[in-house]
Structure 1
Amino acid sequence: MIDIQAIGPDDWKSWSRLRLAALEEAPFAFGSQLADWIDAPEERWRERLSAPGAYQVIASIDGTPTGMAGGFPDDDHAELVSMWVAPAGRGKGVGNALMTAIEDWARSIGATVLKLSVVPGNDPAHDLYLRHGYVDTDEPGDLMPDGVRREIVMQKAL
């Protein structure tokens, strides 16, 4: 059974373990790098989980954390960020559960559009987003750490 738990600054240890695992296992998928966070002090982790209006969740299977995602309000939309599913949770519905949690949150704050970014070549994530009704946009995404590739921006009307 998949359990989704909303988290805050006091859950920084659980979230930091997942975030570091994500950055180590899939460095190509994030704008941040492991070196950016590996020695981060507690205050930085807490601050990341204290962003005004943000919604952060951890997914667990049978009590074992297996994924995470975050939602942030923006001017005219909401944004899904930092989504990752551990290898042990892949193919078990964790990604779907995380997507649903963030989409429900976005609707609850009155967002009518949810945006996200995905790295070109991250086909499993891109396919998940397509299955959830997201479409590619022509909006230029952020540069990746290599300074060459740009993220693909996708969005979904809520």
Structure 2
Amino acid sequence: MIDVQAIGPDDWKAWRDLRLAALQEAAFAFGSRYEDWADAPEDRWRQRLSEPGAYQVIASIDGTPAGMAGGFPDGDKAELVSMWVAPEGRGKGVGNALMRAVEDWARGTGATALELSVVPGNDPAHNLYLRHGYVDTDEPGDLMADGVRRELVMRKPL
């Protein structure tokens, strides 16, 4: 059974463990680097989970953490960030559960659209987003850590 729980600053250890696993396992998919977070003090982790208006969730399968995602308000839209599903959670509905949780949160904030960025070539993530109704935009995304590749921006009306 998949369980999705909203988390806050007191859950920083669980989020840290997932975030570091994500940055190691799928370094190509994130703008942040493992090296930037590996030795981060507790205060930095707590601060990341304390940003005003932000929403962070962890998905678990039978009590074992299997994925994470977050949402940030951005005017009349919201942004989906830090989405990652652990290898053992892939193909089991974890990504779908995380997407639904963040989409429900965004609707609750009054957002009219949800935006996200995905690395070109990350076909499993891109396909998940397409299945959830996101469309590619022509907007340039942020530069990745390599300073060369740009994220692909996708959007879904809510």
TM over 0.5, shorter chain? yes
Following TM superposition, by how much is the alpha carbon of 1:75 offset from its aligned partner in structure 2, in angstroms? 1.7
Partner of 1:152: 152
Question: Secondary structure of the equivalent of 2:100?
Answer: helix
Identity %: 82
Q: Encode CA deviations 1:102-143: one digit per residue, 9 max, x unaligned.
A: 000000010010000000000000000000000000111000
Task: In structure 2, give the amino acid aligned to 1:39.
Answer: D
Partner of 1:63: 63
Partner of 1:29: 29
Partner of 2:14: 14
Equivalent residues in 2 for 1:50-89 (5 A)?
50-89=50-89
* Length-normalised TM-score, structure 2: 0.99
Following TM superposition, by how much is the alpha carbon of 1:39 offset from its aligned partner in structure 2, in angstroms? 0.1
Partner of 2:112: 112
Stretches of structure 1 lacking an aligned partner (at least 5 in a row): none
Question: How big is the alpha-carbon RMSD for the aligned residues of Structure 1 and Structure 2?
Answer: 0.3
Stretches of structure 2 lacking an aligned partner (at least 5 in a row): none
Following TM superposition, by how much is the alpha carbon of 1:76 offset from its aligned partner in structure 2, in angstroms? 2.4
Contact conserved, 2:76 with 2:110, CA < 8 A, in 1?
A: no
Question: Secondary structure of the equivalent of 2:22?
Answer: helix
Question: Secondary structure of the equivalent of 2:148?
Answer: coil
Partner of 2:46: 46
* Length-normalised TM-score, structure 1: 0.99
Q: Which runs of 4+ in 1 moved over 2 A?
A: none
Contact conserved, 2:77 with 2:113, CA < 8 A, in 1?
A: yes
